[in-house]
Amino acid sequence: MSAQPLTDFSRLAVHTFTTKPWNLAQACDNYAAAGIPGITVWRNVIEELGAEAAGSLIRKSGLEVAALCRGGFFPAFSAADRQKAIDDNKLAIDQAAAIGAPMVVLVCGAVVGMPLPEARKQVTDGIAACLDHARAAGVKLAIEPLHPMYAADRSAVNTMGQARAICEALQDPLVGIALDVYHVWWDEALSEEIRLAGEQNTLFAFHVCDWRPDTRHLLTDRGLMGEGCIDIKGIRAAVEAAGFNGWNEVEIFSEAHWAKDQRQWLSEIKQAYLNYV
Ligand code: ZN
C-alpha cells in the first residue's frame, strides 16, 4: 500500500523537542516563518513561562497545537506515588487546555521490578482516575505504545494491541492511541491494529521519524525520515485508509541533529517530509 504523495505542509506539525535548542518563542517564530502550521508542545518549554503565557504566545504565532507531550508514568509501588502521578496528569490536562492542545500524549510508565501485566493494570487505573478531569477540560488522552526496548522503566505498553486493550477496558471516547512509527514499525500486527483503531475511532495521533539500523543511543539517536528503515509511506497509507486525517507530527530526538543550526535542520525536515512521509 502506498500513500498519496504529500505536496504541501498543511498537515505538518513539529514537536518542540525536535528543535530542542529553541525555547517556545523561538520555536513558534521559526515554525511560523517556515510555513509549518502545527506544533506539538513539550512541557519543558511551557514550564519556564507558565501555561497561560505559553498559550497566548502560541495563539499570537498563529500556530495550531497538535498535542501536549507528555503525561503518563502511572505505575508506582506505593499508593502515594500513584496518586502523585495522577495529580501530575491532571496538571498536564490543565496545561493542555490552557495552550489549546486537544490531547495529552501519555508515555504510560513502567517500574523496574514490577511485572509488566501489573504495570499495565496500574496504567489503566491511572488513566481511569483522570477521565472526569479530562472530560471537564475537553482534553483527550492518547496512549503512545513505546518500543519494547523501553519496557523496563519507561512504558509497559509496547504494542498497539496492548494500547487497544486499555482503550477497550476503559471504553471512553476520550481515550485513544498515538501511533509513533519509531515504536511500532516492527510489529507484524501493525496493519491489523491500525485497521482496528480506525474502526474503534481510537487513532488520535501519528508521529514520524526514522529508525537508524546502526542506532547509537536508545533515546537520542532517532533518524530524520529517510535516514532509516521504516516504511513511513506505507504506514501513513494504512492510517489514512483507517480514516486518520490529522497531523503528521515530526518527533525526532537526536543529539546529531540538535547540534546543527536549527533553521537548517528545519528546512531538512521539510524536504524529508515531502520525500519520505
Ligand atoms: Zn511519539
- Beta strands 38-42 and 12-15: pairing type? parallel
Lookup: cell for 134: 479530562
Ligand 1 center from residue 178 Cα (angstroms): 7
Cα–chain-centroid distance for residue 209? Answer: 11
The distance of Cα 149 from the centroid of its chain, to the nearest Å, equals: 17
Kindly state the cell numbers that stand for 139: 482534553
CA 52 – ligand 1 centroid, Å: 25
- Closest C-alpha to 223, from 272, 150, 261: 272
- State the pLDDT at residue 1: 65
The answer to whether the predicted template modeling score (pTM) of the entire model surpasses 0.95 is: yes
Domains of the chain: 12-276 (3.20.20.150)
Q: How far away, in angstroms, is 49 Cα from ligand 1 center?
A: 24
For residue 265, how far is its CA from the centre of ligand 1 (angstroms)? 19
Residue 207 Cα to ligand 1 middle (Å) = 5
Ligand 1 geometric centre to CA of 71 (Å): 12
C-alpha cell at 47: 514550564
Per-residue pLDDT in tens (0 to 9) along the chain, 277 residues:
678 999 999 999 999 999 999 999 999 999 999 999 999 999 999 998 999 999 999 999 999 999 999 999 999 999 999 999 999 999 999 999 999 999 999 999 999 999 999 999 999 999 999 999 999 999 999 999 999 999 999 999 999 999 999 999 999 999 999 999 999 999 999 999 999 999 999 999 999 999 999 999 999 999 999 999 999 999 999 999 999 999 999 999 999 999 999 999 999 999 999 999 9
Q: What share of the chain is helix, strand, coil (3-state, %, to 5)?
A: 45, 15, 35
Give the whole-angstrom CA distance, residue 43 versus residue 29: 18
Cβ 119 vs Cβ 76: under 8 Å: no
One-letter amino acid identity for 191?
A: S
How much is the pLDDT for 48? 85
Residue by residue, DSSP assigns 34-47 as: TT--EEEEEHHHHH
Contact present, 46 and 23 (Cβ < 8 Å): no
Of the candidates 152, 72, 73, the residue with the CA atom closest to the CA atom of residue 112: 152
Q: In this structure, what C-alpha cell is assigned to residue 36?
A: 509549518
User: Which DSSP state fits 30?
Assistant: H
Between vectors from CA 183 to CA 180 and to CA 187, what angle results, nearest 5°?
Answer: 110
Q: Distance from the CA of 179 to the center of ligand 1, in angstroms? A: 7
Cα–chain-centroid distance for residue 269?
17
Cα(144) to ligand 1 centroid in Å equals 7
User: Which amino acid would we find at residue 104?
Assistant: V
Pairing of strands 248-250, 140-143: unpaired
| Displacement of CA 138 from its chain's centroid (Å) | 18
CA of 251 to the centre of ligand 1 (A): 6
Q: How far is the CA of 54 from the centre of ligand 1 (A)?
A: 21
Amino acid present at 220? T
Ligand 1 center from residue 53 Cα (angstroms): 25
Q: How far apart are the first and last CA of the chain?
A: 13
In this predicted model, what pLDDT tens digit does every residue of 112-135 receive, in sequence order?
999 999 999 999 999 999 999 999
CA of 116 to the centre of ligand 1 (A): 21
Q: How far is the CA of 57 from the centre of ligand 1 (A)?
A: 24
